[in-house]
Amino acid sequence: MAAKQWRGKWVADFTLDGKRIRRVSPVQTKRGAEAYEAELRVGLSTSTASSGPSPRLSDFAVRWLTERVLVRNKPSSRVRKESILRVHLLPVLGSKRLDAITTHDLDAYTAEKQGSGLAPSTINGHLAVLSTLMKCAVEWGLLDAVPKMHKLTVPPPEFDWLRPAEAERLLTAARPEPKWSAMFTVALRAGLRRGELLALKWRDVDFDAPAVDVRRSVYRGRVGSTKGNRHRRVPLTADAVAALRRWRAQGGPRQGWVFPDAEGAVERCPQRVNEALARLLDAAGLRAVRVHDLRHSFASHLVLRSVSLRVIQRLLGHASITTTERYAHVADASLVAAIAALECESARDVRVSSTTKTRRRFRRHRLTPTRWGPRPARSATPDHTGRRRRSGGQCGCS
């Protein structure tokens, strides 16, 4: 029996047919873990004997995409997972059975993709798709366990953003075009993604609050849920409200989509947005940035104004504060100012301490009058005790 404690819990840890099995025992005692291991050994041996060999990756991938991904994932996730399998994973590992894919195979795959020039984050994305696929195979009883995958270390992502003065220059250049003025003002002042901007409807805009409700997103012409299926409400600034009112009054639609195509339908060509932004940036004399960089600019401007990262996380709709922390470096100037203030405080403390010590030293060495008059001079001759006594005084012996 191999019942032991692992991370503070009793687990059944053993090897079966060359594969390591480690499961947390439902009964958290040593005997409970031993009994659970015996049950697992019998159950896994029976299932392996009855189910036969596991399917090849290429065969299971079709079933996984059809029965799991197509049903549960957004269109953007479906396209990404299908593309990763078709272009990268299946040409290398597609002929292998699921139970024959080992950690060594995955390390070799990682090394091959690194040699081809793919970024570490991209390779980690491939491994994440494969891990999700194999976990599904475990749930369906076609695989005993998922092999360990070693992901690569990813450096912090870099991004570009418009400084506040640059953002004002862009909005000034866009003002003659009400549609693009409204869209890019909302992007800079509310931090919406491109797909969320294209999926906005007038009923989502609350001019009284004022705020905008982000409920949906557009991806390749298909309207779906927002990233992570998280709805959020973002307050609007006065200039964003004014830009939306101006767009609505000067030819924009009164209902339906806020930023539709020429026929009034949802915009299915996001390239038009990219081209409009590139043209306005050139007119303003600014460098080229992406539409998504306007969202980065929104978050960076908030950081410059010392807004809490937790608040920024809610406004952006991030699932994890780790994603929001990428903007923390924007406040480097504030950190320098804080350290400078600390240095000033330390210098003041040093000056005060030095002055206090000087005063104490002066008080200790100078002659100060006593309560009953001047301090008498010490006698140069010692008394019979061997100690010097004050002149005119007695030794104190009785």
Question: Which residues have a catalytic role annotated?
Answer: 193, 227, 292, 295, 318, 327
**226 and 243 Cβ atoms separated by less than 8 Å:** no
CA dihedral (175, 179, 182, 185) in degrees, to 10, reads -70
In the structure encoding, which two tokens stand for residue 277, read together?
């932004």
Other CB atoms within 10 A of residue 331 CB = 18
Angle at 265 between CA 264 and CA 271, to 5 degrees: 105
Other CB atoms within 10 A of residue 372 CB = 7
Residue 65 burial (C-beta neighbours within 10 Å; 0-12, 13-18, 19+): middle
The one-letter amino acid at 94:
G
**231 and 215 Cβ atoms separated by less than 8 Å:** yes
**221 and 268 Cβ atoms separated by less than 8 Å:** yes
Which segments of the chain does DSSP mark as H helices, in order?
Answer: 30-51, 57-64, 70-72, 75-84, 90-93, 103-115, 120-139, 164-174, 178-190, 194-198, 238-249, 271-283, 291-304, 309-316, 321-324, 332-365
The Cα–Cα gap between 347 and 290 comes to 46
Does an H or E element contain 4, and which? Answer: strand 3-6
The Cα–Cα gap between 137 and 151 comes to 21
